[in-house]
Copies of this chain bind each other. A is one copy, B any other.
Amino acid sequence: MTAPEPRDPALGTTRTSLPIMLLRAREAVMARFRPMLHEIGVTEQQWRVLRVLDEGGELDVSTVAHRAAILPPSLTRILKSLREKGLVAIRRDRDDGRRSLAALTGTGRDLILGAAPDSAMIYAEISRLYGMERLDALMAEIDALIGTLQDEPDEN
């Protein structure tokens, strides 16, 4: 019975909010991968960490955090749980006692290798549905947006 409340036209509507759209897009993509991740018993973030270690070999925590887009405090907990699962090994850097180094165990590598075909198939399906060139172009644009926002100084 009550009429819709008035709203400030200076605020864009949440329907077209850039951060929310990026969130929804990520969710739509991840929904395709989630069944596979559930199957092998790792979370999305744990999977990212495993992949980064597969690509980079033994890496220090800061590098893993940067490449996997995970903040250091989260990564500390994730590495702990991955170690408890026997998927990664962690040791101190002898040359620089401040650093921790993480690497896949044999078990961890096997898990990646086993899941790789499924992962590739899911990505291929996304690429097929949306269009491969179109997807490449979209990712290039997103990359450009990131570059633009990070290079330019904040307006504060």
Main secondary structure of the interface of A (DSSP, over half): helix
14 contacts between A and B (CB under 8 A): A2-B58, A5-B104, A8-B112, A18-B126, A18-B135, A19-B29, A23-B69, A25-B146, A28-B149, A32-B149, A35-B154, A134-B141, A135-B145, A138-B145
A93 within 8 A of B: no
Q: Does A132 contact B (CB under 8 A)?
A: no
A20 nearest in chain B by CB position = B69
* B130 touching A145, Cβ below 8 Å: yes
Chain A interface residue bracket vs B? 35 or more
Q: Which 5 A-B pairs have the closest CB atoms?
A: A5-B57, A22-B26, A28-B149, A10-B120, A10-B116
